[in-house]
Amino acid sequence: MAHRVDTDERRARATLRIEDRSETRTLWPHAFACELSVAVSGARLELQLRIENPGLGPFDCCAGLHTYLSVADIDAVRVEGLHAAQYRDRTKQDRQFIDSADPLAIGSEVDRIYVDAPHEVVVRENGRSTRIRAHSFPDVVVWNPWKDKCASLDDMPDDAYRHMLCVEAVAFGKPLTLSSHASWSGGQTLIASR
């Protein structure tokens, strides 16, 4: 994996890049390159993902930016911008629904894939908000494992569900198709405010 870090007085930026090799081809038989750039400037965080197909044939893939937000108390969190959006509910055998909440409150396990989602949502809680804008990612995942599932996860403390919410830009509803020597880019910008 290659990496690069750049800084100036306004912003810090890190870029990570991975390319296929013999070990990756045992898991996925395609030539690829994947690059993630992360830039921080004040209350703004920008994530940019680029996927390249240097191979001779096309491949399909899905992509996501696993954005886990730290929240003070999940009971106080409200997600705005998803009202009337269609989603697949992973807690209900992937059945499809239309979001009727305005805004969405989290009071139990949530595992939703909003397909062709709005490109901007806002997460609000007690005097602060995070505006999340997706660029070229058509879908959004909203996830919180809640008490029982959180207790069964090895990499999270039992009560971690109280202090986190995943609002993730994804390309999942319809896989991306990259033809030979093509690339795709998508991003997500998070802006925090009080």
Closest CA to 15 of 37, 43, 44: 37
Distance of CA 44 to the CA centre of its chain: 16
The 10s digit of each residue's pLDDT in 127-181 is 999 999 999 999 999 999 999 999 999 998 999 999 999 999 999 999 999 999 9
- Which CATH code fits 2-193? 2.70.98.10
pTM, to two decimals:
0.91
- Enumerate the β-bridge partners of residue 141: 113, 168
The 10s digit of each residue's pLDDT in 75-88 is 999 999 999 999 99
Map residue 174 onto helix, strand or coil: strand
The domains of the chain are located at 2-193
| CA distance linking residue 74 with residue 105, whole number of Å | 9
Report residue 157: phi and psi, to 5°. -60, 155
Structure tokens at 23: 């070990």
Identity at 79, one-letter amino acid code = V
DSSP 3-state helix, strand, coil percentages of the chain (rounded to 5)?
10, 55, 35
